Structure 1
């Protein structure tokens, strides 16, 4: 990938971890972008990768030109870190994809977050510490914005076990853990396309 960036070894740089935090992706995704030439970096004599801040700033501008305008399809993951990492790594490989993934492990914190800024898609387990996942979903359903927020549940519970605990509304899609990523991505793509169609009509 060609770039007009002037790469000065003395220019301001940052670590791979810092770049990952700025870009809101995993460290693995940043390493992948460096290997692809989409981020510019150099290695210190000790073998540590240093990434040019100007390169990170340019990628932020290219990947998130519509974030401030609220033009992203927002996905909130209330689940374990591996699922969040898999999703961010996948969408990191798609330049310009209008998708933003946020992960929150604490379900109580996620309720506050959803109340402040409801995501377009919530991906959550129903087995969570300190909170009854079924009650969590029931609480969400009482809010008006729940009509526009789609929900996907990922769980190790069987359908019978979930039915015994109260069951899930028919509008909620459910995927058994360990999640098969291509299947989940197909479901997400369906919701994203619907979102794009609604935006184009408005």
Structure 2
């Protein structure tokens, strides 16, 4: 399912993380272009909204020169990495994940290069990645990740709008990698978070249990 080229002021507000009235004010000031429907409703270009997002949310600009790595909150908190070159989708994920009840720390990367840097620094327990990205595609990034011994327990989920035949043309899918469609099914994503958080807790509990040697 392809994205519509136009969004309402309400949808734009969700993507930008501001109030609907703020979006309306930006339109009135000419900061974001809009057109009117026959019914008098404003419609904003999705591309214009994406461009404006990069000015109101510096974390998602994709500018490697200003790319700053955040600190880890806790060694035991579920660490989740999202790699996606569409800033609007990243922003939507950030908003949706903030409503999840599963404790986690979220890291965002706008390309596979940033994603690999974050993997090396944070060793995330769970990775969601797009496939079609500039320079390094998602499958190549995944192939590099699965070579890392310290990442053997990390769950990788591909989130893509590509059809199965298009994915197959890109290369062989590694074993154990899950594929989700776009638009992103966030109910399924939350379930995956629960499962991975429980798996981490079980592994931590087992590691902390003393071994009783037989007499």
TM-score category, normalised to shorter length:
0.5 to 0.7
Task: Show the counterpart of 2:98.
Answer: 92
> 1:188 and 2:201 equivalent?
no
Query: How far apart, CA to CA, are the structure 1 residues paired with 2:97 and 2:162?
Result: 28
Q: How many positions carry a matched residue from both structures?
A: 139
Once superposed, which parts of structure 1, at least 4 consecutive aligned residues long, lie more than 6 Å away?
none
Contact 2:143 2:174 in 1 (8 A): no
* 1:110-121 correspondence to structure 2 within 5 Å: 110-121=115-126
Gaps of 5+ in 2: 1-15, 19-71, 208-215
Query: How far apart, CA to CA, are the structure 2 residues paired with 1:125 and 1:184?
Result: 14
Task: Show the counterpart of 1:132.
Answer: 137
Deviations 1:58-106 (A, max 9, x none): xxxxxxxxx65412100010013444444443443457x4311111102
Distance change in 2, residues 1:158/1:134 (3 Å):
same
Task: Show the counterpart of 1:155.
Answer: 160
SS at match of 2:81: strand
Deviations 1:8-59 (A, max 9, x none): xxxxxxxxxxxxxxxxxx856xxxxxxxxxxxxxxxxxxxxxxxxxxxxxxx
* 1:39-78 correspondence to structure 2 within 5 Å: 68-78=73-83
Task: Show the counterpart of 2:64.
Answer: none
Contact 1:74 1:120 in 2 (8 A): yes
Gaps of 5+ in 1: 1-25, 29-66
Task: Show the counterpart of 1:123.
Answer: 128
SS at match of 1:131: coil
SS at match of 1:102: strand
* 1:2-81 correspondence to structure 2 within 5 Å: 27=17, 68-79=73-84, 80-81=86-87
Contact 1:71 1:98 in 2 (8 A): no
Contact 2:73 2:105 in 1 (8 A): no
Query: How far apart, CA to CA, are the structure 2 residues paired with 1:157 and 1:87?
Result: 19
Distance change in 2, residues 1:91/1:176 (3 Å):
closer
Distance change in 2, residues 1:138/1:72 (3 Å):
same
Distance change in 2, residues 1:149/1:128 (3 Å):
same
